[in-house]
Amino acid sequence: MTETFSFDWAISPETPDTFFAEYFEKKPMLIKRGQPGYFSDLLSYDDIDRVVSTMGLHVPEINVTRADGNITPTDFAYETGQVDPVRVNQLHADGATVILSGLHERLPALARYCRAMEAAMSARVQTNIYMTPPGNQGFNPHYDGHDVLVLQVAGTKEWRIYGTPVELPLPDQAFERGMDVGEEVQRFVLEPGDAVYIPRGMAHDAVATDETSLHITTGLMFRTWADALAEAVIAKAHREPAMRRALPPGYANYGADLDAYDATFAEVVAMVGDAHVGKLLSGFREEFLTARVPRVEGQMAQLAKLDGLTMDSRVGAHPHIVFGIHDVPDEDQVCLAAQGAEIILPAHAKDAMEYCITTGDFRLGDMGGDLDDAGKMVLVKRFVREGLMRVL
């Protein structure tokens, strides 16, 4: 049973170092494994059947499409937006692709996978699930506005890679119908257990072969340097009145010399030049940390184990916790930020906090840091209650 679904696991036998050095934001990375059951613990047809048939999904949690684009929600959902599972399955049997969005919010295995990917990428991660009947495709050639890592769970699908109409597009540079996607440059078949990374902006399409295809498209929603620059402008404008001055009255009038303001604009742009990138990225990091709400499968059972804890109990951090620890100004305290919460503890607990949040399996009494046994017990119980640690 795969428990952590790490990024290393997802791209094995390739390595993260190779991925980031040679492929990330540059070119596709194809992984052929010859291990059909590699992703079987992550998703199955039984999972899809249960979700579609029993969970009362609404549009757009589920969508149904064909490359000809002639399916609308009225074909498979009620006026309330709730999906009719019978009609969904009928359309699928007739050749339509079923798309499940955000299933990582419902299935614990997919949630663990996304959390592991987020820890590796420092970016929000989402999943879209595609189930395509034999010989059919859901979309014509297009590009995505975010990087994707495709995991082939079952069946087979032929992928075709084209050109890059927009290199690393921003969110407002979405693919538009009629765009020239260029010539086909690569073609391959994903079999169960295979994977492929495709950078945003690179056009592609895929067709199921002679059996139904089930794959997971992992969306990697990165922040960009453009985001950092925009944040720098706003931060600087809060401090510099010159950046808050109005544009010249009458600049929009016919005949106004718009080039006359080059020098003024250059002065404003220069004000951003001394922005402190560390502060900007720190702000993004805090936003990222607070947005990662807890995923604590089995938490009720964990709380029930706390009364039986001893110094010989084995405990450990939940995998792939992304966290920050900083000193509290003017106080002899430290703050741990993780999973949307902040925990304030005495400064002398800092080393023990870091040990607990980074160590996956240890004897409670062997905790690193300077706490006595009573302090160790208090810290572990607090972290278990907060969903940061678990009793093993």
Shared domain for 260 and 327, answered yes or no, is no
Crossing angle of helices 373-385 and 350-358, in 10° steps, is 50
Q: Is residue 289 part of a domain?
A: no
How far is Cα of residue 82 from the mean position of the Cα atoms in its chain?
A: 26
The Cα 196–Cα 177 span in angstroms is: 24
Shared domain for 165 and 267, answered yes or no, is no
Sheet holding 195-198, edge to edge: 29-31, 195-198, 147-154, 213-221, 124-132, 97-101, 62-65
Q: Of the candidates 203, 221, 239, which is a domain's last residue?
A: 221
Shared domain for 236 and 385, answered yes or no, is no
Shared domain for 332 and 201, answered yes or no, is no
- Rounded (10°) CA dihedral 53, 57, 60, 61: -80
The token duo for 215 is 């794959």
Shared domain for 76 and 173, answered yes or no, is yes
How far is Cα of residue 85 from the mean position of the Cα atoms in its chain?
A: 28
Which CATH number fits the domain that encloses residue 322? 3.90.930.40
Shared domain for 309 and 387, answered yes or no, is yes
DSSP codes, 263-306: HHHHHHHHHTTT--HHHHHHHHHHHHHHH-----TTHHHHHHTG
- Rounded (10°) CA dihedral 23, 24, 26, 27: 50
What's the pLDDT at 2? 53
Q: Of the candidates 221, 252, 286, which is a domain's last residue?
A: 221
Which range marks the domain in which residue 332 is found?
299-391
What's the pLDDT at 1? 42
Per-residue pLDDT of the chain (392 residues; tens, 9 = 90+): 456 799 999 999 999 999 999 999 999 999 999 999 999 999 999 999 999 999 999 999 999 998 887 899 999 999 999 999 999 999 999 999 999 999 999 999 999 999 999 999 999 999 999 999 999 888 899 999 999 999 999 999 999 999 999 999 999 999 999 999 999 999 999 999 999 999 999 999 999 999 999 999 999 999 999 999 999 999 999 999 999 999 999 999 999 999 999 999 999 999 998 888 999 999 999 899 888 888 888 999 999 999 999 999 999 999 999 999 999 988 999 999 998 889 999 999 999 999 999 999 999 999 999 999 999 999 999 999 999 999 99
Q: Max Cα separation, the chain?
A: 82
The Cα 217–Cα 378 span in angstroms is: 42
Shared domain for 85 and 202, answered yes or no, is yes
Q: Is residue 359 part of a domain?
A: yes
Contact (Cβ atoms closer than 8 angstroms) between residue 329 and residue 279: no
Shared domain for 265 and 202, answered yes or no, is no
Listed in order, strand segments (DSSP E) in the chain are 29-31, 62-65, 97-101, 124-132, 147-154, 157-161, 186-190, 195-198, 204-208, 213-221, 314-317, 323-327, 333-338, 341-346, 362-363, 389-391
Contact (Cβ atoms closer than 8 angstroms) between residue 198 and residue 161: yes
Q: Is residue 283 part of a domain?
A: no
What's the pLDDT at 153? 98
What's the pLDDT at 67? 80
Pick from 367, 14, 237, 24: nearest CA to 382:
367
Q: How many helices (H) and strands (E) does the chain have?
A: 11, 16
Shared domain for 87 and 168, answered yes or no, is yes
3-state SS of the chain: helix, strand, coil percent to 5?
A: 35, 20, 45
Pick from 379, 302, 388: nearest CA to 338:
388
Shared domain for 53 and 161, answered yes or no, is yes
Contact (Cβ atoms closer than 8 angstroms) between residue 239 and residue 157: no
Crossing angle of helices 277-291 and 225-237, in 10° steps, is 110
Domain count, the chain: 3
What's the pLDDT at 151? 98
The Cα 374–Cα 369 span in angstroms is: 13
